[in-house]
Amino acid sequence: MPVTVGITTSTFGREDPEPLDLLKQARIEWRLNPYGRKLQPEETIHFLREADGVIAGTEILDHAVLGQLPRMQVISRVGVGLENVDLAYAEQRGIRVFSTPDGPTQGVAELTLGGLLAVLRGVARSDAAVRRGDWKKPMGHLLQGKTVGLIGLGRIGRAFAVLVRPFAVSLIAFDVDPDLTAAQKLGVQFVGLEEILAQSDVVSLHLSGVAARPLLGEQEFLRMKPGAVVVNTARGGWLDEKALAQSLRNGHLGGAYLDVFEEEPYRGPLAELANVVLTPHLGSYAAECRLRMEAEAARHVVAFFGGREGKRPEAFR
């Protein structure tokens, strides 16, 4: 009986057929997501009921879902986080779990820089004005010489630091598990969270995992410098979006760029503000990043079913 894999990511193989070719060459049959969007739990169960494995996106793969997938043997996540997977239950079932932690790093880092510059120079609102026929020139700000505070100095935080250093910025960071060697190489100084808030002209979040509660809320925004810019390309939920909107409305903060949200698609008050740039979770959506991630996810599946599990990616259990 041939191995069958369900592919739940909505754009898998669209930019380049290589990931699908890898499965084909290994004689693994696949089914593509028929909805063109993130699957809801009942849809996931229906779609994967007869699958031996899944090349997964961000759909929920908890006990309730996996418990109804009797043939499931391997989960290969296209992306970094595995918060959507019940890892304890997967281990109990003997389901192998893989991810592609390095694939999106450069894409997210470059998007972070692009979004930040767009906020500082009013690119989005200027574009909208020109399209309306208005020739107005909002006064912006340079990134050069600013203090950039990084909350989280993992893969993406470090990649962003490399990109932003040529702007002659001062780099400070807060991390619960500080990598002193990496910080020294990058010219980053570790400080406490309070110093990040008090000293930074730009606060950029690069945390992993799901937030139990927002790290940045009303009180934290009040402690930030007047005119500071907030950036979140990490995970939705790490900041209080309503409190951020209020701080932007009252003029205390100068702007914000968000690519991730507590609930997606986003329909909240930040969309009403001119000094905010919003994108629809585009972090890894660069063709080169997608190909790398999708091909790596396919290789995990091929190696697993070929009896050559090889080196396991960074463990998330």
Domain ranges of the chain: 4-103+286-305, 105-278
Going by pLDDT thresholds of 50, 70 and 90, the confidence category of residue 307 is: low
List, for residues 251-292, the tens digit of each pLDDT value: 999 999 999 999 989 999 999 999 999 999 999 899 999 999
CB within 8 A of 273, min separation 6: which ones?
A: 245, 248, 249
251 versus 15: which is more confidently predicted? 251
Average pLDDT over residues 291-310: 86
CB 292 within 8 A of CB 103: yes
Does the fold of domain 105-278 match that of domain 4-103+286-305?
yes
Q: What is the pLDDT of residue 262?
A: 94
Q: What is the pLDDT of residues 167-206, one digit of tens each?
A: 999 999 999 999 999 999 999 999 999 999 999 999 999 9
Q: What are 193-244's pLDDT values in tens digits?
A: 999 999 999 999 999 888 889 999 999 999 999 999 999 999 999 999 999 9
CATH topology of domain 105-278: Rossmann fold (3.40.50)
pLDDT > 60? residue 311:
no
Indicate the CATH number of 4-103+286-305 among 3.30.300.20, 3.40.30.10, 3.10.20.440, 3.40.50.720: 3.40.50.720
> What is the pTM (predicted TM-score) of this model?
0.87
Q: Is the pLDDT of residue 313 over 50?
A: no
Q: Which residues are known catalytic residues? A: 235, 264, 281
> Quick check: 80 pLDDT over 90?
no
Q: What's the confidence (pLDDT) of residue 209?
A: 82
